[in-house]
């Protein structure tokens, strides 16, 4: 490990990703600054008085990063929960998003928010768009409630694509081949074409097709070991799977294939008006989760089954965006219309969890094969209309209106021919079949601006008025439904409010910006999901209210030695009210509640330096302390007894408990070192090595208190190229470490005490990449 011991927030820090990545050849100049539009006007990272990281597409290519999930390991303040590609939810500054129907980190593709499924038990997972041919990624830390609205109270990720170019024909291709230890070969290709069509039209086409091998096995045991016989009062529990006879091994099941295309068309009749229409299609298919069973643990990268029950995952995404911009003289008028539809279909092995919860009055049953499937269909329409000021360096302002309509269908279905269910009189041996429709409509009016009242001092403020209305309609039948013959449950909630922000910055010269800020963020509340089934006892969990935060922050951005060194740092304190949390209960079900009040605080720092014309480095670190300090009564009564039993520090007893926010590593660090040099004529040699350390975290499975150990991951890459082509060799996960990322991230079935499934990273992978530009 190259660098450990510095504190870090969430899943680690930037390393080798910010401005130090910009150089691809030796030069005598300073660090390259990245232009951003985070505040709806052009500025640089160093001149924007908020906590912000930005990474260009060229920098991503140089580092070999192809997805936001990979990038999350290297961005300050960003953490994640993931069971693999397309199964990732993002979090920032200790604000976990496991509860509620909205994320804590907003995710934008260009100017369109991409809402994750509202009710899926797999979590607030967003798509993992391919990052070939993008302009940049911006990560805004802290509440972005004025410009970006709900779901952005911890931060906002913006993926900005390259737009079509008039009068320029250009293209690029990329090919990658690699091999994964314990897996097999991987490969993929990307293509970009920019084609002008006359003087006013241009189109840009991007295509991708990739394959990743698997490294997790499915092992069928016969007979499956049980820890004692089931009885009238208790289920059996999992026995020693390593000592049981193996019937079948299906190797390397967690394969991934991804194909997609993006088409953008630009119409620009003059300098004052333009329209860009974009369509994107992406299809991802996996053979299984990036998860292993615990027990027996990480030394056995496998899932053990009662019968051969495959766990495929398939994800289809269609996206459409129309953005028109007009110069009105005093301001730019921008209209952004977006629509997307996403289908996620996956099946999980419920062969252990269902028998653990099933009791027909005579007793619990032995294990038997039960596939359990979930289909999530998300549709979102959004419209934003905004005015942004022009031509005044002292005053910048933006004002607008926003509307979105998110519809989410969460379908679950499981059928079994086993006598346990076939003999219940329920049609087709239905374990459970149902549909939960969830709709949330949001509208907002916002204004944000900054005024430079002296050459050194600038004041910024903004406000957003919002309203939301949420509706749920649940129908279900089967053994685990409240009524086995079928029943419907309907509930709705709504609320309005205001989100303000304030920022005062001081810039005595072009090399230093200091700021202090206070800002508010929120997430909508939601209706009840309906009554529990008979196996969980009587009762219906109540609706849950919105949660909100106030973030207080002080920070600085400094350039030294003619911009050969930059140091950006901040310290924040967050007060989190009415924390939304998903509570897992002993019968295997979950419900949403407001778990109480919490706080989070810590420093963040990024350092980028050019040591010589050839050598540069990037380092960053942060520390976060995020805890529920005032747990609500429902949380105490339902969860904290288990938390104490799980051994969570700070919980001497259920009535006196300060519990860590889940999946938030407290400390960590990262470092990247880059060497570039001219060789021969116009060829450039580039070499880089990076390392990231993530500290211990707590997560949830059947109960609170699952401890995830710290880990360190290192990568190396060397490339040779010129303006037309580049050839690279790389090794990812140099030390072949097995990292335990999250527990039961996709727990719509295996919420049982004797089994936790841990998501993990890709083993050591080495390969080559060729890029050609024309």
According to DSSP, residue 749 is labeled S
Q: How far is CA 238 from the centre of its chain?
A: 32
Residue 676 pairs with which residues in a beta bridge? 686
Beta strands 683-694 and 711-721: pairing type?
A: antiparallel
Task: Give the integer Cα–Cα distance in Å for 699 and 705.
Answer: 6
726: alpha, beta or left, given left = phi > 0 and alpha = psi -120 to 50? Answer: beta
Beta strands 331-349 and 313-327: pairing type?
A: antiparallel
- pLDDT for position 312: 95
CATH number of 19-773: 2.40.170.20
Tokens of 528: 């009840």
Length of the chain: 774
Q: Are 133 and 190 in contact (CB under 8 A)?
A: yes
- As a dihedral over the C-alpha atoms of residue 715, residue 718, residue 722, residue 725, rounded to 10 degrees, the angle is -70
Which residues in the chain come in under a pLDDT of 70? Answer: 1-28, 119-123, 229-236, 356-365, 420-428, 534-535, 537-538, 586-588, 636-657, 702-705, 745-752
The number of beta carbons lying within 10 Å of the beta carbon of residue 316 is 15
- Is 158 strand, coil or helix? strand
What lies within 8 Å, CB to CB, of 105 at 6+ separation is 78, 90, 91, 92, 95, 97, 151, 152, 154, 155, 156, 157
Say how many CA atoms lie within 13 Å of 128 toward its Cβ. Answer: 28
Task: Give the integer Cα–Cα distance in Å for 506 and 517.
Answer: 12
- Is 428 strand, coil or helix? helix
Q: What angle do CA 509, 510, 513 make, to 5 degrees?
A: 75
Enumerate the H helices of 57-125 as residue ranges: 57-63, 68-71
Task: Give the integer Cα–Cα distance in Å for 719 and 769.
Answer: 9
Give the Å distances, CA to CA, from 26 to 19, 46, 114, 613, 681: 14, 23, 39, 5, 13
Give percent of the chain above pLDDT 70: 86
- Is 638 strand, coil or helix? helix
Comparing CA positions, the residue from 273, 407, 264 lying closest to residue 322 is 264
Residue that the structure tokens 């899943």 belong to? 11
- Per residue in 571-604, pLDDT (tens digit) is 999 999 999 987 777 666 778 889 889 999 999 9
Comparing CA positions, the residue from 26, 89, 81, 95 lying closest to residue 660 is 95
Beta strands, E only, 578-643 = 580-584, 590-594, 596-610, 615-622, 625-631
Q: Buried b vs exposed e over 324-340: b needs ≥16 C-beta within 10 Å?
A: bbeeeeebbebbbbbbb
Burial class (CB in 10 A: 0-12, 13-18, 19+), 509: exposed
Task: Give the integer Cα–Cα distance in Å for 421 and 428.
Answer: 8
- pLDDT for position 749: 60
- pLDDT for position 747: 54
Tokens of 526: 């939601």
Tokens of 443: 């509208």
Q: Is the peptide bond before 223 cis (omega within 30 degrees of 0)?
A: yes
According to DSSP, residue 533 is labeled P
Q: Are 266 and 202 in contact (CB under 8 A)?
A: yes
């Amino acid at each position: 490990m190259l660098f450990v011991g510095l504190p870090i927030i969430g899943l680690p820090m930037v390393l080798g990703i910010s401005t130090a990545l910009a150089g691809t050849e030796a030069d005598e100049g300073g660090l390259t600054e990245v232009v951003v539009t985070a505040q709806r006007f052009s500025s640089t990272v160093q001149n924007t008085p908020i906590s912000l990281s930005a990474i260009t597409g060229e920098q991503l290519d140089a580092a070999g990063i192809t997805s936001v999930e990979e990038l999350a390991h290297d961005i300050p303040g960003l953490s994640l929960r993931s069971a693999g590609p397309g199964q990732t939810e993002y979090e920032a500054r200790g604000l976990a998003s496991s509860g509620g129907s909205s994320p804590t980190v907003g995710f934008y593709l260009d100017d369109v928010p991409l809402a994750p499924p509202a009710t899926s038990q797999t979590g607030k997972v967003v798509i993992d768009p391919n990052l070939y041919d993008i302009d940049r990624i911006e990560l805004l830390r802290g509440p972005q409630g004025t410009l970006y609205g709900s779901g952005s109270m911890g931060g906002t990720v913006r993926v900005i694509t390259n737009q079509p170019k008039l009068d320029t024909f250009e293209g690029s291709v990329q090919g990658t081949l690699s091999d994964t230890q314990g897996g097999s070969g991987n490969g993929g290709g990307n293509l970009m074409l920019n084609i002008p069509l006359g003087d006013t039209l241009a189109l840009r086409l991007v295509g991708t097709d990739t394959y990743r091998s698997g490294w997790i096995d499915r092992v069928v045991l016969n007979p499956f070991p049980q820890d004692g016989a089931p009885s009238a009062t208790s289920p059996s529990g999992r026995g020693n799977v390593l000592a049981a006879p193996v019937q079948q091994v299906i190797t390397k099941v967690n394969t991934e294939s991804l194909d997609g295309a993006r088409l953008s068309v630009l119409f620009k009749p003059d300098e004052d008006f333009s329209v860009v229409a974009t369509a994107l299609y992406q299809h991802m298919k996996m053979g299984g989760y990036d998860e292993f069973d615990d027990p027996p643990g990480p030394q056995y990268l496998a899932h053990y089954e009662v019968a051969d029950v495959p766990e495929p995952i398939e994800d289809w995404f269609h996206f459409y965006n129309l953005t028109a911009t007009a110069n009105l003289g005093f301001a730019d008028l921008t209209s952004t219309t977006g629509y997307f539809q996403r289908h996620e279909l996956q099946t999980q092995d419920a062969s252990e969890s269902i028998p653990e919860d099933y009791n027909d009055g005579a007793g619990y049953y032995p294990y038997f094969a039960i596939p359990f499937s979930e289909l999530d269909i998300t549709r979102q329409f959004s419209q934003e209309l905004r005015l942004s000021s022009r031509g005044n360096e002292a005053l910048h302002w933006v004002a607008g209106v926003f509307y979105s309509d998110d519809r989410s269908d969460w379908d679950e279905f499981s059928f079994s021919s086993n006598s346990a269910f076939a003999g219940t009189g329920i049609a087709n041996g239905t374990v459970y079949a149902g549909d939960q429709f969830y709709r949330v409509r949001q509208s907002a009016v916002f204004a944000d601006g900054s005024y430079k009242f002296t050459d050194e001092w600038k004041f910024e403020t903004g406000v957003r008025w919002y309203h939301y209305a949420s509706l749920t309609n649940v129908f279900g039948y089967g053994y685990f439904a409240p009524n086995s013959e079928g029943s419907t449950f309907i509930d709705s909630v709504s609320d309005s409010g205001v989100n303000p922000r304030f920022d005062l910055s001081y810039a005595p010269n072009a090399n230093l910006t200091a700021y202090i800020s206070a800002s508010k963020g929120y997430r909508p509340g939601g209706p009840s999901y309906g009554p529990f089934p008979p196996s969980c006892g009587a009762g219906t969990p109540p609706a849950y209210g919105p949660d909100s935060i106030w973030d207080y922050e002080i920070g600085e951005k400094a350039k030294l030695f003619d911009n050969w060194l930059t140091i950006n740092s901040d310290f924040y304190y967050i007060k989190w009210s009415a924390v939304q949390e998903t509570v897992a209960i002993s019968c295997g079900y979950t419900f949403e509640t407001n778990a109480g009040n919490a706080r989070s605080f810590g420093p963040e720092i990024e350092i980028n330096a050019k040591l010589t014309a050839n050598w540069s480095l990037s380092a960053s670190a942060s520390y976060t302390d995020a805890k529920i300090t005032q747990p609500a009564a429902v949380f105490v009564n339902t969860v904290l007894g288990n938390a104490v039993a799980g051994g969570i520090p700070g919980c001497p007893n259920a009535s006196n408990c300060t519990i860590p926010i889940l999946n938030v590593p407290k400390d960590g660090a990262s470092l990247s070192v880059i060497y570039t040099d001219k060789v021969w004529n116009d060829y450039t040699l580039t070499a880089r090595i990076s390392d990231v350390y993530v500290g211990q975290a707590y997560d949830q499975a059947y109960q609170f208190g699952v401890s995830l150990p710290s880990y360190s991951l290192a990568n190396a890459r060397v490339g040779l190229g010129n303006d037309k082509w580049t050839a690279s060799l790389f090794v990812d996960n140099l030390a072949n470490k097995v990292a335990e990322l999250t527990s039961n991230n996709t727990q719509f079935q295996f919420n049982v005490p004797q089994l936790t499934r841990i998501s993990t990273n890709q083993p050591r992978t080495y390969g080559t990449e060729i890029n050609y530009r024309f």
